[in-house]
Amino acid sequence: MKDLVEKKAANEVETEEGSITIEIVYRGIFQKTLAQRIARSIVLAARKRGHTGTAFGRYGDSPERNGVPAKYFAVVAINELELESSMAKYEPAVVDVSIVVDDTLVKGVESWAWYGRQPIWKPVRSDGFVVVTSEKTPDEVLAQTDAAERPYTLAVVPGLASFAGLWVFKDDHTDYRVLGALARLVPDWVRLEDVQALIREQTKEGSAADSAQHGFDATVVRAVAPGEGTSGHEVLQFDKPGWTTMRPGIIVDARKPGERNPYYKKYGARTLRPVVNFDTCIKCTMCWLDCPDECFEVTAEGHYEVVYEACIGCGICAAVCPVKDCIVMVDEMKFTDNKDTWALWKSDHDAYNRWFEEMAGVPADPKGVAARAADAPVGTPTVSHDAASGGDD
């Protein structure tokens, strides 16, 4: 039996709606230009077939913060009247397609615009699409996505999360691959020939149009039924007081010394997380001093452990740590919780070190670390795309 995507590709499903709403979920600032380019290109490609549309960023995400999830939108309609009625909202509460340009965002998003973690599919209508750029399989992506409440199609566009510094754009064709994938999923609105014609006009590059074709061909789709996904992520929702229930005046409850604010969690901003080798740590305090979010707690032994609920994954600790592979930045998709890890090292040293080696992909034993450091030619990077280590190489 053909699934929805195959039927659409064979033009067996007619467009009945007067408009389509697509959101692009991205990591604030680092991927802003990418999201903007995808949203604008959707509208420009749709115009080539006579549709109209508009692209806009979410006001509530400004000012953006590094790594914090943010959104861009593209609304395409069959005519100005339909567009106007689709736009009669401050922000689309329901979308047909959600494009996610960093696969770690499927663990749930807490944006600048609201409090609490929300499933990535939250605004996606029943039988809509979640499109994720990832090098993982749809099943691996789904394993980190909140259990579905409605059926949707998960589409994985091959490629790593495309990060650039602040306002800089990393031109690795992620936008073209995503546009190609969209042409496959919603051909009534975005056609591959229109996408490629637009890209040729913009770039004069054949390879860019080829990337759109690659996105069209290589995107892997999987139908997701209600209940599929994980129920392992923290439920982080807050009941905010209405104005009639607020206390008089402005009262900010103070935290006791050494206590962390239980409502202020920052892990949703993280693409990589640091793991620490306590056996090689020389207790120099550099990570503790330089962490911009004060994530480190000093242990009874004088080690420094990361409080993962507070860590934004900036990587500064790994960069300043003077010991090779003592702090390694690891793909956030490898983790299923935010539990602190020093307690395991304390209670079961060998189990901790096995865990460290599995996550970091480097030896935990100080002798192994020393041998590896001696073997590596000066300047040889020891990182893979999903792990980045500290130390002075």
Using CB under 6 A, list all residues that contact ligand SF4. 274, 276, 281-287, 291, 293, 295, 304, 306, 311-317, 321, 323, 326-327
Residue placing its CB nearer to ligand SF4 in the complex, 152 or 335: 335
Residues in contact with 163: Cβ distance below 8 Å, sequence separation at least 6, in sequence order: 27, 30, 31, 102, 170, 271
Residue placing its CB nearer to ligand SF4 in the complex, 247 or 367: 367
3-class SS of residue 131: strand
Task: Compute the least distance from the CB of residue 236 to ligand SF4, in Å.
Answer: 18
Which helix (H) or strand (E) is 318 found in, with range? helix 316-320
Q: How many helices (H) and strands (E) does the chain have?
A: 12, 12
Residue placing its CB nearer to ligand SF4 in the complex, 91 or 290: 290
Residue placing its CB nearer to ligand SF4 in the complex, 142 or 286: 286
For residues 25 and 35, what is the distance between their CA atoms, to the nearest angstrom?
8
Residues constituting the chain:
393
Count CB-CB contacts under 10 A for residue 208: 17
Residue found by looking up tokens 């389509």 in the block: 20
Question: Which residue spans within 36-87 are E strands per DSSP?
Answer: 52-57, 69-77
Listed residue (319, 378, 254, 313) closest to 68, CA to CA: 313
Task: Compute the least distance from the CB of residue 310 to ligand SF4, in Å.
Answer: 7
Which helix (H) or strand (E) is 23 found in, with range? strand 19-27
For helices 192-203 and 32-47, give the axis angle rounded to 10 degrees. Answer: 120
Beta bridge partners of 153: 129, 223
For 13, 27, 69, 97, 134, the CA distances from 60, given in Å and listed in that order, are 36, 14, 11, 20, 27
3-class SS of residue 199: helix
Task: Compute the least distance from the CB of residue 366 to ligand SF4, in Å.
Answer: 12
Residue placing its CB nearer to ligand SF4 in the complex, 56 or 288: 288
Indicate the Cα dihedral angle 322, 327, 328, 331, nearest 10°: -140
Task: Compute the least distance from the CB of residue 321 to ligand SF4, in Å.
Answer: 3
Listed residue (353, 285, 348) closest to 317, CA to CA: 285
3-class SS of residue 112: coil
Residue placing its CB nearer to ligand SF4 in the complex, 206 or 366: 366
Task: Compute the least distance from the CB of residue 314 to ligand SF4, in Å.
Answer: 4
Give yes or no for a contact between 388 and 272, defined as CB atoms under 8 angstroms apart.
yes
User: The tokens of 218 are what?
Assistant: 């290589």
Residue placing its CB nearer to ligand SF4 in the complex, 98 or 353: 353
Residue placing its CB nearer to ligand SF4 in the complex, 43 or 68: 68
Task: Compute the least distance from the CB of residue 391 to ligand SF4, in Å.
Answer: 9
Task: Compute the least distance from the CB of residue 29 to ligand SF4, in Å.
Answer: 16
Task: Compute the least distance from the CB of residue 341 to ligand SF4, in Å.
Answer: 12
Residue placing its CB nearer to ligand SF4 in the complex, 92 or 390: 390
Task: Compute the least distance from the CB of residue 291 to ligand SF4, in Å.
Answer: 3
